[in-house]
Homo-oligomer: A and B are copies of this chain.
Amino acid sequence: MSTTVTLDQIRTILPHIDLLPLIEQGFVEYSSGQAVVPPVGELLFEDPPGDVHIKYGFIKGGDYYVIKVASGFYRNPSIGLASSQGLMLLFSQKTGVLVAILLDEGFLTDIRTAAAGAVAARHLAPKSVDRIGIIGAGTQARVQLEHLCAVTACRNVMVWTPKSDEFDPYRASFVGSNLQIEFADTPSEVASRCHLIVTTTPSTQPLLRAADVQPGTHITAVGSDTAEKIELEPELVARADVVVVDSLPQSESRGEVFRAVSDGAISRDDVSELGSVIARNAVGRTANNQITVCDLTGVAVQDLQIARAVYEAVAVETNRRPR
């Protein structure tokens, strides 16, 4: 009989899980060819508009395979529902038996994405960061900042969002922390004052420009996960000394690197994978004054790692042996 884990249980258990090493391990396995991750499945709806992504895969020789469903229906808030919905399913890789249903409603996708942002910063950010820049002020902008606190001592933050009604909720979510949060008027103000920047919007127009970014900056771009979305001007990707993606195959059809390559700004040969950088099989930042860019479109190994960790923690908690 499978274990069903509710969103409340997930929220309770997650702070007790040391996620970053698990996500790092997932990327390393992925980039070393130990993971099987087929192309992302997709369903698109028009009325009301919505998109569903199905990510699935496994690490060879592991215990489980994962199927993750995550959707965004952007009119949901008008009827009192969250835009993000979905769940994760964990199956035995040896028998196909359903092991766990994680009713996360998109929450674990938010968290594993933020954890990947922290991993990218750990491996690519310059040694000392005096200000963190965040583009966007939604859920992902919040969890990215939360997770960055684990990998940098910097607590000065500059945030840009086009929606001024997001200022107060964003600030409120960090009450009681020691973060100093100010809001910028433009994305270029963020670029000119911050050396560790995360972009988290669904923009379809570039927000950060090559001319605005200072030497010695790391940028993690998590907003674009389709062919249409873009946050970084292709010239900015071209100006970077190091360009890294979570998944080279996915970067052929989605994200910043897809756009920069399509634009002719960079060659695919200029790009390496985060898991290879972590494992030191690819060159990451080699000097403090370099510009580095990490483009994350989200890989099923992240879903596998977080789903497995949550399930196993719940199983221990309830004194049941994981299967």
Q: What is the interface of chain A, defined by CB distance below 8 A to chain B?
A: 2, 4, 36, 38, 41-43, 45, 48, 50, 52, 54, 56-58, 65, 67, 69, 71-73, 76, 79, 81, 85-87, 89, 91, 93-98, 101, 103, 105
Contacts and interface: CB of A to CB of B under 8 A. Distances in A.
Given A4-B4, A52-B96, 20 more contacts: A2-B103, A41-B41, A41-B54, A43-B58, A43-B65, A45-B58, A45-B65, A50-B94, A54-B54, A54-B67, A67-B69, A69-B91, A76-B95, A76-B96, A81-B97, A85-B96, A86-B96, A86-B98, A98-B103, A101-B101
Nearest to A46: B60
Identify the 4 closest CB pairs spanning chains A and B, nearest first: A71-B96, A85-B96, A73-B96, A73-B95
A197 to B, nearest CB: 30
Contacts of A48: 94-95
A7 to B, nearest CB: 10
Contact of A69 (B45, B89, B94): B89
Nearest to A37: B43
B85 A97 contact: yes
A273 to B, nearest CB: 21
B76 A57 contact: no
B52 A43 contact: no
B81 A56 contact: no
As for how many copies of this chain the complex holds, the number is: 2
A36 B45 CA distance: 10
A43 B66 CA distance: 10
Contacts of A76: 95-96
A41 B56 contact: yes
28 contacts: A36-B43, A38-B41, A38-B43, A41-B54, A41-B56, A43-B56, A43-B58, A45-B65, A45-B93, A45-B94, A50-B94, A52-B65, A52-B91, A54-B54, A54-B56, A67-B67, A69-B89, A69-B91, A71-B96, A72-B96, A73-B94, A79-B95, A81-B97, A85-B95, A85-B97, A86-B96, A86-B98, A98-B105
A98 B86 CA distance: 7
A57 B45 CA distance: 11
Contacts of A73: 94-96
A51 to B, nearest CB: 9
Nearest to A50: B96
A73 B91 CA distance: 12
Contacts of A95: 48, 50, 73, 76, 79, 81, 85
A43 B87 CA distance: 19
A95 B71 CA distance: 9
A43 B71 contact: no
A118 to B, nearest CB: 27
Contacts of A89: 69, 87
